[in-house]
Amino acid sequence: MKNNPKTAVILLAGRGSRLKEITNDIPKCLIKINQKTILERTLDNLIAYGIQQCILVLGYRKEQIKEVCKSYSDRLAFDFVLNDKWCQSNNILSLYLATHWIKGDFLLLEGDILFSENALNSFSHLNSLAVDNFSSFMDGTVVEINKMGFVKKFYLKTNPEMPNDLSQYFKTVNIYSFDLSDFNNFIFPELEALIQRNQINEYYELAFANAVDKCGFKFKVIRFSHFRWAEIDDQKDLFYAERLFRR
């Protein structure tokens, strides 16, 4: 990749209800992992990578997130996008709302991911996604990879065709890079079609899966197995992340 994307889209609208009382008063991205919030860790890593603009899709406790961003305003330009249906929709709507603000190649991240600072340097191709070897404790979307290192198929956890044995599959880390032109030509039409059918409770990976299946869109796979990373969905994930990022 000749030039790294300068824009990052971070989806932060949800509450993180599986964390129960932990997110009663703060959004999930402001949970501290060893004295530093998930959001601060993400923004620091994006700055180190060379990101200049962050498009944040907000909903639950949005003002608290904006307050944290003030301390980064000398290093990052922020655009805040409101998903006012955050409590009755899934991340597909947040991504769709963000698309109107994206003006160049970009990274897409979910706001509950922690990862090593140098991990983003492995994104040497646009139209890429980070994956790791599937383990039994993991939950969510998995992908099948072809011999060339591209995604052959997405399997969302809602897909009835999800294989029983996932040992040869790979878990998505929920970090992506996109060429804007390719995104607009292949991904956005699938995204928009789902929104127009009011399928706002879907995951955005459904649009990605449709683009791969119907249009032959090529996602290059980036292996994250040698990086530290964690996705915070519940209290078990939180304990795991606290141990993993202690050092």
| Helix and strand totals (H; E) in the chain | 7, 13
pLDDT tens digits in sequence order for the chain, 247 residues long: 557 999 999 999 999 888 989 999 999 999 999 999 999 999 999 999 999 999 999 999 999 999 999 999 999 999 999 999 999 999 999 999 999 999 999 999 999 999 999 999 999 899 999 999 988 778 789 999 999 999 999 999 888 888 888 889 999 999 999 999 999 999 999 999 999 999 999 999 999 999 999 999 999 999 999 999 999 999 999 999 999 998 6
- Indicate the pairing of strand 7-11 with strand 220-223: unpaired
Cβ atoms of residues 77 and 105 within 8 Å:
no
Measured over the CA atoms of residue 93, residue 94, residue 98 and residue 104, the dihedral's sign is: negative
For the chain, which residues make up each domain, given as ranges?
7-244
Q: Which CATH number fits domain 7-244: 3.40.50.300, 1.20.1050.10, 3.90.550.10, 3.40.605.10?
A: 3.90.550.10
Tokens of 209: 């899966």
